């Protein structure tokens, strides 16, 4: 192999880089062909062309300095060692990005969106991720590692090739400004205005189009663009008035014009019921037989409590990550796109905090998870939310007959046994929160006795078996606590952090005037047989409604701010669920839904609701701007 001059060598390296990125995008498209089937052939082609712009921004950003270093009209730039070193560095950079994006392709299969700010959350969970790479994704990790080495070898080979013309021409200096101009345009993606960002990558107004064009690395490294997300689709005054009208209630009264969404239940009768909240990892509504009638047989305990308690049949998660679910439950807020995570700055906006409100009403507060203390940062989130005691896997002894070790901390049975021991001595009234982990992929089996299906750490059968185990541990927990003196005075709440292997609605699932948000549909069971009569509730709700629901029912009178409403407040004017999907948001009223990427709405015309669109924009505008202007909650 040889090149006529160094320009042809550098151009060849650029073309090779684009070819590798295109090959990975084709692989991505074919891997999720059913998901992308909502795109016509022409729309898919436009999305691939938009993907070229995404790749250009990445490639030009990371390699442009190498171009200049290789093309400077100076004698030392022809030294073989110099060119090989820079060429190998080029290969390592591109191989690393490809490696990252392969991980993103695998991640996409879980939540149907690309990696972004999740990367900032893995600091305490590197061990877990490494375990998944070596177990759940062993073959993928092996092939990716081989690909990494092959890419580096290709670039090494390319830059060891002989260059035939090695003359230095001073007029080549005139090309340097031209190269810089090309690089500048390529990186920005535009000549004028704000540089090309995540929301610009939609060739057509369909979520699948944006996802096909984007890549995990672009979403991550251009994530700073989300800090500049336009949350001002309308005036703040109009937005606030629209939201106030939507959540208007005869019971929750507005308190202060400077904090326009702050409310309180001034006439509430205080009740010192205890509260036990158990958040189950990845429990989609589809797995609960009491909801679906599928007879999967892995939730008999939850089914029994659903049938003898309050079962909310139209309940949604506000996000697709554990931290998003916990944030919404603890604070009553759906994290705005572009804002810091809870525990990394969101708390500085002075939110309502479930634990602190409980403490102010004389409650003892307790939180725990079966993963390590810092996993998913639940330790920090619990402390910020006002939970006085917090425990993780390090605090929980092995106390059951499970076999082996889970991927996350201890088995959920160990956590629930530990929880019952803590509740045995806690002073009333109390509120406790427990977050499980054994149903998180990879699905390690705790033992044959809980395997109803052929077990696999990587299949849905594996999830069903671990869910069967978790349900059995809930049964054992309820059996242990039923004789406690506080049992009949306690409200048990069972829900999920998010769904399992979330999928957005495909074209085949879209009905006339209705888009299913099954990717967020989770169970909510409120069990307290001495307090509530059994009833199936049609009330639409989401995680953010739990804080106002407890505030209402327990008779807490201090102010709170949330776009959620009490699920027991029949005077609420409108019910909705506002959810976050990576860099997009969506809103459903139970009948139809709208999806927005901060550039345009992404729904077919026949499925659009102008009223819902206005409400979505109002919620986003009001929530983001009141937070920024410290008008969310009065200190």
Rounded to an integer, the average pLDDT of 138-143 is 84
d(CA 518, CA 284): 8
3-state class (DSSP) for residue 491: strand
DSSP class per residue in 54-77: HHHHHHHHHHHHHHHHHHSSSGGG
Out of 53-57, 132-136, 516-520, 617-621, least confident range: 132-136
**Confidence tier at 210 by pLDDT (50, 70, 90):** confident
**Confidence tier at 128 by pLDDT (50, 70, 90):** low
Out of 28-37, 108-117, 213-222, 295-304, least confident range: 108-117
- In eight-state DSSP terms, residue 427 is P
Q: Which CATH superfamily does the domain covering 242-252+270-628 fall into?
A: Alkaline Phosphatase, subunit A (3.40.720.10)
pLDDT at 511 over 50: no
What is the predicted pLDDT for the residue at 191? 67
Rounded to an integer, the average pLDDT of 561-579 is 95
What is the predicted pLDDT for the residue at 358? 97
Rg (CA), the chain: 27
Query: What is the Cβ-side half-sphere exposure of residue 373, based on CA atoms within 13 angstroms?
Result: 9
Higher pLDDT, 191 or 293: 293
- What's the distance, CA 195 to chain centroid? 25
d(CA 258, CA 265): 18
d(CA 593, CA 515): 6
- In eight-state DSSP terms, residue 170 is G
| Strand ranges inside 146-226, DSSP E | 162-163
**Confidence tier at 446 by pLDDT (50, 70, 90):** very high
| Strand ranges inside 297-383, DSSP E | 310-312, 315-316, 364-369
Q: For 386, left (φ over 0), alpha (ψ -120 to 50), or beta?
A: left
pLDDT tens by residue, 10-59: 999 999 999 999 999 999 999 999 989 989 999 999 999 999 999 999 99
Work out whether strand 274-280 and strand 490-496 pair parallel, antiparallel, or are unpaired.
parallel
Domain boundaries, the chain: 2-228, 242-252+270-628
Residue 442: cis peptide before it, omega within 30 degrees of 0? yes
Alpha-helical (H) ranges within 112-137 are 126-134
Out of 99-113, 130-144, 191-205, 501-515, least confident range: 501-515
Tokens of residue 265, six digits:
């239940």
| Strand ranges inside 244-374, DSSP E | 253-256, 259-264, 274-280, 310-312, 315-316, 364-369
């Amino acid at each position: 192999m040889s090149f006529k001059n160094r320009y042809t060598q550098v151009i060849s390296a650029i073309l090779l880089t684009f070819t590798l990125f295109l090959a990975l995008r084709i692989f991505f498209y074919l891997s999720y062909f059913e998901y992308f089937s909502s795109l016509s052939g022409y729309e898919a082609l436009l999305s691939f062309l938009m993907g070229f712009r995404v790749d250009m921004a990445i490639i030009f950003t990371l390699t442009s300095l190498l171009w200049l270093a290789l093309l400077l009209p100076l004698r030392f730039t022809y030294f073989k060692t110099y060119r090989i070193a820079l060429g190998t560095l080029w290969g390592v950079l591109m191989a690393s990005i490809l490696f990252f994006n392969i991980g993103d392709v695998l991640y996409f299969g879980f939540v149907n969106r690309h990696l972004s700010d999740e990367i900032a959350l893995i600091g305490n969970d590197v061990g877990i991720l490494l375990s998944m790479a070596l177990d759940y994704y062993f073959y993928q990790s092996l092939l990716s590692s081989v690909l990494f080495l092959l890419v580096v070898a290709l670039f090494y080979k390319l830059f060891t090739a002989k260059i035939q013309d090695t003359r230095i021409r001073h007029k080549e200096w005139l090309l340097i400004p031209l190269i810089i101009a090309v690089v500048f345009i390529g990186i920005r993606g535009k000549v004028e205005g704000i540089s090309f960002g995540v929301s610009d990558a939609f060739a057509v107004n369909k979520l699948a189009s944006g996802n096909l064009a984007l890549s995990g690395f672009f979403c991550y490294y251009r994530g700073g663009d989300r800090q500049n997300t336009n949350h001002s689709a309308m005036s703040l005054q109009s937005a606030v008035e629209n939201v106030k009208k939507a959540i208007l209630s005869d019971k929750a009264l507005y308190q202060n014009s400077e904090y326009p969404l702050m409310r309180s239940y001034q006439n509430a009768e205080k009740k010192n019921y205890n509260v036990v909240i158990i958040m189950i990892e990845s429990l989609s509504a589809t797995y609960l037989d009491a909801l679906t009638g599928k007879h999967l047989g892995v939730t008999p305990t939850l089914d029994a409590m659903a049938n003898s308690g309050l079962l909310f049949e139209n309940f949604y998660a506000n996000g697709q990550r554990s931290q998003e679910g916990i944030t919404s439950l603890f604070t009553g807020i759906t994290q705005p796109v572009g804002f810091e995570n809870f525990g990394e700055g969101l708390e500085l906006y002075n939110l309502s905090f479930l634990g602190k409100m409980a403490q102010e009403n004389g409650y003892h507060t307790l939180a725990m998870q079966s993963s390590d203390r810092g996993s998913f940062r639940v330790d920090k989130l619990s402390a910020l939310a006002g939970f006085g005691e917090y425990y993780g896997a390090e605090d929980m002894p092995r106390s059951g007959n499970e076999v082996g070790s889970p991927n996350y901390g201890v088995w959920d049975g160990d956590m629930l046994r530990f929880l019952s021991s803590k509740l045995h001595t806690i002073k009333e009234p109390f509120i406790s929160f427990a977050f499980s982990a054994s149903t998180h992929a990879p699905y390690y089996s705790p033992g044959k006795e809980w395997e109803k299906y052929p077990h696999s750490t990587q299949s849905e059968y594996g999830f069903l078996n671990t869910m069967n185990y978790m349900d059995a541990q809930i049964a054992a927990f309820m059996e242990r606590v039923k004789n406690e003196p506080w049992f009949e005075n306690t409200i048990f709440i069972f829900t999920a952090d998010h769904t399992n292997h979330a999928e957005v609605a495909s074209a085949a699932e879209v009905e006339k005037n209705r888009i299913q948000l099954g990717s967020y549909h989770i169970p909510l069971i409120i069990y307290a047989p001495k307090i509530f009569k059994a009833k199936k509730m049609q009330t639409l709700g989401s995680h953010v409604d739990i804080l106002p629901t407890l505030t209402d029912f327990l008779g807490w009178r201090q102010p709170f701010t949330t776009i959620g409403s009490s699920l027991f407040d029949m005077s609420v004017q409108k019910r909705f669920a506002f959810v976050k999907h990576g860099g997009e948001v969506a809103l459903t009223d139970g009948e139809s839904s709208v999806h927005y990427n901060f550039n345009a709405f992404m729904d077919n015309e026949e499925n659009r609701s102008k009223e819902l669109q206005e409400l979505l924009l109002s919620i986003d505008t009001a929530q983001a701007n009141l937070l920024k202007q410290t008008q969310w909650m009065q200190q």
